[in-house]
Homo-oligomer: A and B are copies of this chain.
Amino acid sequence: MLDEPLLTAKGEATRRRIVAAATAEFAAYGIAGARIERIVAEARTNKAQLYAYFGGKERLFDAVFTASLERILEVVPIDADDLAGWAVRLYDEYLVRPDLIRLATWHRLERRPAGHLVPDTARLDTGKLTAIAAAQAAGRVVPGDPFDVMALVIAMSMAWSPVSNVYAATADEPEEVHRRRRDLLRRAVAGATGAVPSGRA
Contact = CB atoms under 8 A, between A and B. Distances in A.
Interface of A: 28-33, 98, 101-102, 104-106, 108-110, 112-117, 121, 142, 144-145, 147-152, 154-156, 158-160, 162-170, 180-181, 183-185, 187-194, 201
The 5 closest A-B pairs by CB, nearest first: A155-B159, A32-B33, A188-B192, A192-B192, A191-B191
Given A101-B165, A162-B113, A165-B104, A188 B151 contact: no
Copies of the polypeptide in the assembly: 2
SS of A interface (majority): helix
Contacts of A159: 148, 151-152, 154-156
A29 B201 CA distance: 45
Contacts of A28: 113
A144 B3 CA distance: 57
B105 A165 contact: yes
A165 B108 contact: yes
